[in-house]
Amino acid sequence: MRTVEVNGLEIGAGKPKIAVPLVEATTGALVSAAKQACQEPIDMVEWRLDFFAKIHNRAAIIETARVLRQILEDRPLLVTLRTKNEGGNYQPTIAEYINIYRELIKSHLVDLIDIEVLQPPTAILPLVRLAHNEQVKVIMSNHDFSQTPSATVLQARIERMADLGADIAKFAVMPQSREDLLTILRVSLHHADLTDGIPLVAIGMGQQGKIIRIGGEIFGSCISFGTVGKASAPGQLAVAKLSEILDVLHE
């Protein structure tokens, strides 16, 4: 499996990198949360733009990204506009989805963006092309909050992400049984064994999915999302605890 380097951080090698989602609604609250997160053992921050109260104000988005960039220093900033169709807090039009990401990419204030693989290819391909031209990495994602699809379906989605130009593939699913956990792990392990595969983020949500969040180094998932304050998905562990567990497994 290949690795991806962002601001000197090698994603896809060694311990899974710890990302903290920021889900606050205002710039002031985001600033406070980012400063708090930087006191913890984190590798990167995800700004969940779908929770931002001023999502219709492009100037406010860019200014907030600028402030976050200053606080994070060299830590990578991932910006995610998660749609309601995939468990997010906002449902933009396709045009709005494209335009928000275009402005963020061109601002040179963000290091990675998250694009949902089920968006129309007419939206995905130009954004991927622009991101790569501007040296911004693309995480391509898919989320299922109700079930764990079959291994065949998950593998097909990962392949589609790679075909569409993703730098990192991500899926987050809801395991309902031990068999579902094994499905996630088998898919992750299969992908990790591919010589030329892009890095993969494999997430099991909910209580049962916690084992997936900590086992990435063994089975091939390269980022784990932890909390400093509010969680963005069920089953996320507090960063301090997550870091401790990952350190123990890495010894």
pLDDT of residue 220: 87
In a domain, 52, yes or no: yes
Known catalytic residue at 191: no
- Is residue 63 a known part of a binding site? no
In a domain, 230, yes or no: yes
Q: Determine the structural domain holding residue 119 and report its residue range.
A: 4-244
- Is residue 213 a known part of a binding site? yes
- Is residue 46 a known part of a binding site? yes
Provide mean pLDDT across the span 93-112. 98
- For residue 105, count CB atoms less than 10 angstroms from its CB and return exposed for 0-12, middle for 13-18, buried for 19 or more: buried
- pLDDT confidence band for 209 (50 / 70 / 90): confident
Which listed residue (143, 191, 241, 250) is catalytic?
A: 143
In a domain, 167, yes or no: yes
Known catalytic residue at 143: yes
In a domain, 251, yes or no: no
In a domain, 191, yes or no: yes
In a domain, 249, yes or no: no
181 pLDDT higher than 90: yes
- The CATH number given to whatever domain includes residue 68 is 3.20.20.70
In a domain, 250, yes or no: no
21 pLDDT higher than 90: yes
225 pLDDT higher than 90: yes
In a domain, 9, yes or no: yes
DSSP per residue, 26-41? SHHHHHHHHHHHTTSS
Compute the mean pLDDT over every residue in the chain, rounded to the nearest whole number: 95
Which listed residue (17, 137, 170, 191) is catalytic?
A: 170
pLDDT of residue 9: 96
CA–CA distance, 228 with 230 (Å, rounded to integer): 6
Specify the number of domains making up the chain.
1
The dihedrals phi and psi of 86, each to the nearest 5 degrees, come to -120, 30
pLDDT of residue 236: 86
Provide mean pLDDT across the span 93-98. 97
- pLDDT confidence band for 168 (50 / 70 / 90): very high
231 pLDDT higher than 90: no
